[in-house]
Structure 1
Amino acid sequence: MGSIEVGTASWTDKTLLASGWYPASADTPEKRLAYYAEQFPVVEVDSTYYGPPAEQTTRLWAQRTPGGFTFNIKAFSMLTGHPTKVSAIYKDLRPETDKKNVYPGDMPPQSYEEVWSRFLAALDPLAEAGKLGAVLFQFPPWFGIRKSNKEYLLEVAARCKPLRPVFEFRNASWFEGANQNETLDFLRAHGLAFVGVDMPQGHKSSIPPVMAATSDLAVVRFHGHSDKWTSKDIHEKFGYEYSDEELRSWAPRLRELASSATRTQVFMNNCYSDYAQRNATTLIDLIREG
C-alpha cells in the first residue's frame, strides 16, 4: 500500500481562527502555519483560486514549514474557465471592460498566456523546496465530457510540466453509464491524476463518489453533505461535520485506493470552524487502526 497523507483545504479561515483550534501561542500567521504543519503533512491552498499567489508568499510558505511538508495549490479560476473577477487579475493584464467578471475568451491571447506563466512561476519556491505536491484544476459544472475538454486536460498537463496537475470534475456526464470507464481510461492512458470527491448528491454539480487511481498519485476531497450546498455563503455550503461513523466507513475505501497508488492525498474541505481539522485527525486515526 502506498502512503496516505491527510490534511485540510485551509489553515487561515476566520471561523477556524475563532474556533480555538489553534493554541493561544499561535498568534501570528507564521506560528499558525507552523502549528498546522506539526499536525498534518499536507495542506491545500484554496485562496489561489480567487487570486493568484505572489512568489514572495510561496517562498514564505516554504520557509515556514518543515522538510517533507506538502502544499497543493488550487488553480486560479481563470485557468479552469470559471468567471474571474477583473480585480483578481494582475493589474497590468486586466482587460478594459465594464464587466465585473470575465472569462478566458475576454482576455487578449497574450495576456491570457501571461496569466498562465506568472501563476506557475509563483509556485517555483515551493517546487524548489520540494514542497509542491500538485496543482488542483477544479472545473466548472458546464465542463462536460467532450473531445475539446479532453484536449484541454492534455493542454493543462503540457503547460504545467514538470509540475503535477490533478483534475476534479463538477459535471456528472463524465461518469454517466459507460462514460465512467471512458473517463478513467482516458486519464490512465495519459497518466493524469483523478480527484475523487465526497459531496452532496442531486445537484447540477454533483459527482458520484468514484474512487480510482489513474496515476501514481490519487487525490480525494471531502466536501461534506450540507443541505445548503447551493448557498452562496461558503460557510453554509461547506459547514458540515462528518460523524465518526461516516469517517469509519471511508477508512477501508481509502486504504484500498492507496493500494493502487504510490501516494494518496486526502483533503477535508468542510472548512467551517474546526470541523475539517478535527475530522482529518479522526480520519488519520481510523486509517492507522486498519
Structure 2
Amino acid sequence: MGDIVVGTASWTDRTLLASGWYPASADTPEKRLAYYAKQFPIVEVDATYYGPPNEQTTKLWAQRTPDGFTFNIKAFSLLTGHPTKVSAIYKDLRPETDKKNVYPGDVPPQAYEEIWSRFLTALDPLAQAGKLGAVLFQFPPWFGIRRSNKDFMLEVAERCKPLRAVFELRNASWFEGANQTETLDFLRAHELPFVCVDMPQGHKSSVPPVVAATADLAVVRFHGHSDKWTSKDIHEKFGYEYSAKELAAWAPKLRDLSDKAGQVQVFMNNCYSDYAQRNASTLIDLLDSD
C-alpha cells in the first residue's frame, strides 16, 4: 500500500473554535496550529481561495509546524475563473470598475499575470521548508468538458511548476458516458492529479465520486451529504457528520487508490463544529486497523 495522509480543510473555522475541540491552552492562532499539527500530518488552506496569502503568513505557517507537516493551498478564485471580489485583489492591481465581482477577463492582462506571479511567490516559504503539498484548482460548475478547458488545465500545470497543481472538476459533463474515460485518459496522459470528491448527489452541481489515480498523487475531498447543499449558509452546506459506517466503506477504496497512485491526500471538508476533525480521526483509525 502507498502512503495515505488524512487531514481537514480548515483549522480556524469559528464553529470549530466554539466546539471545544481545541484545549483551553490553545488560545492563540500559533498554539492552535501547533495543536492541529500534532493531531494530523496535513491541512488544506481554503482561505487562500477568497484572498491570496502573503509571504509573511506562509512563513509563519512553516515556522509553527513540525518537520514533515504538509499544507495544500486552494488557488485564489480569480485563477480558477470564479467571480472574485474586487476588494480581494491586490490593491495596486485592482481594475477600475463599479462591479463588486470580476472575472479574469475583467482584469488587464499584465495585472492578471502579476496576480499569478504574486500568488505563487507567496507560497515560497512553504516550498522552501518542504511543507507545500499541492495547489488545489477547483474549477467552477460551468467549467465543462471541452478542448479550451483542457488546454487551460495544461496551462495551469505549467504555470505552477515546479509546484504541483491538482484538479477538481465540478461539472458533470466530464463524467457522463464515454466522457469519463476521455477525462481520465487526458489527465493520465499529462500526469495531472485528479481530485475525487464525495458530495451530495442529485443537484445541478453534483459530480459522481469517481475514485481514480491519474498520476503519482491522488486527492480525495469529502464535502459531506448535507440535505441543505444549495444553502447560501456555508455551515448548512457543509454541516454533515459522516457515520463510522460511511467512512468504513471508503477505507478499502482509499487503500486501493494508494496502491495505484503511490500517495493519497484525504481532506474532510465538512467544516462545521468539529465534524471534520472527528471524522478525520475516525478515518485514520479505520485505515490503521488493518
Name 2:133's counterpart in structure 1.
Answer: 133
Post-superposition shift, 1:203?
1.1
Name 1:279's counterpart in structure 2.
Answer: 279
1: CA distance, partners of 2:217 / 2:249: 22
Describe the superposition over 1:8-59 as per-residue Cα deviations: whole angstroms up to 9, x where unpaired: 0000000000000000000000000000000000000000000000100000
SS across alignment from 1:219: strand
Name 1:14's counterpart in structure 2.
Answer: 14
Name 1:104's counterpart in structure 2.
Answer: 104
Name 1:57's counterpart in structure 2.
Answer: 57
SS across alignment from 2:141: coil
Name 2:121's counterpart in structure 1.
Answer: 121
1: CA distance, partners of 2:203 / 2:165: 26
The answer to whether the aligner puts 1:223 opposite 2:223 as a matched pair is yes
Post-superposition shift, 1:104?
0.1
SS across alignment from 1:193: coil
Name 1:30's counterpart in structure 2.
Answer: 30
Paired residue type of 1:157: A
Paired residue type of 1:96: E
SS across alignment from 2:261: coil
SS across alignment from 1:236: helix
1: CA distance, partners of 2:262 / 2:256: 12
Name 2:245's counterpart in structure 1.
Answer: 245
Unaligned runs of 5+ residues in structure 2 are none
1: CA distance, partners of 2:204 / 2:266: 24
SS across alignment from 1:260: helix
Paired residue type of 1:288: D
SS across alignment from 1:259: helix
1: CA distance, partners of 2:187 / 2:89: 30
Name 1:41's counterpart in structure 2.
Answer: 41
Paired residue type of 2:168: E
SS across alignment from 2:5: strand
Describe the superposition over 1:54-79 as per-residue Cα deviations: whole angstroms up to 9, x where unpaired: 10000000000000000000000000
Unaligned runs of 5+ residues in structure 1 are none
SS across alignment from 2:210: coil
2: CA distance, partners of 1:204 / 1:53: 31
The answer to whether the aligner puts 1:184 opposite 2:184 as a matched pair is yes
1: CA distance, partners of 2:69 / 2:136: 17
Q: How does 1:246-265 map to 2 (within 5 A)?
A: 246-265=246-265
What percent of counterpart residues are identical? 84
The answer to whether the aligner puts 1:173 opposite 2:173 as a matched pair is yes
- More off after superposition, 199-208 vs 270-279: 199-208
Post-superposition shift, 1:231?
0.7
SS across alignment from 2:194: strand
TM-score by length of 1: 1.00
Q: Which runs of 4+ in 1 moved over 2 A?
A: none
Post-superposition shift, 1:266?
0.2
Name 1:142's counterpart in structure 2.
Answer: 142
SS across alignment from 2:218: strand
Paired residue type of 1:36: Y
1: CA distance, partners of 2:289 / 2:261: 20
Paired residue type of 1:213: A
Paired residue type of 1:28: T
Post-superposition shift, 1:205?
1.3
Paired residue type of 1:280: A
Aligned-pair RMSD on alpha carbons?
A: 0.4
Paired residue type of 2:48: T
TM-score by length of 2: 1.00
- More off after superposition, 254-263 vs 44-53: 254-263
The answer to whether the aligner puts 1:161 opposite 2:174 as a matched pair is no
Post-superposition shift, 1:204?
1.5
Name 1:289's counterpart in structure 2.
Answer: 289
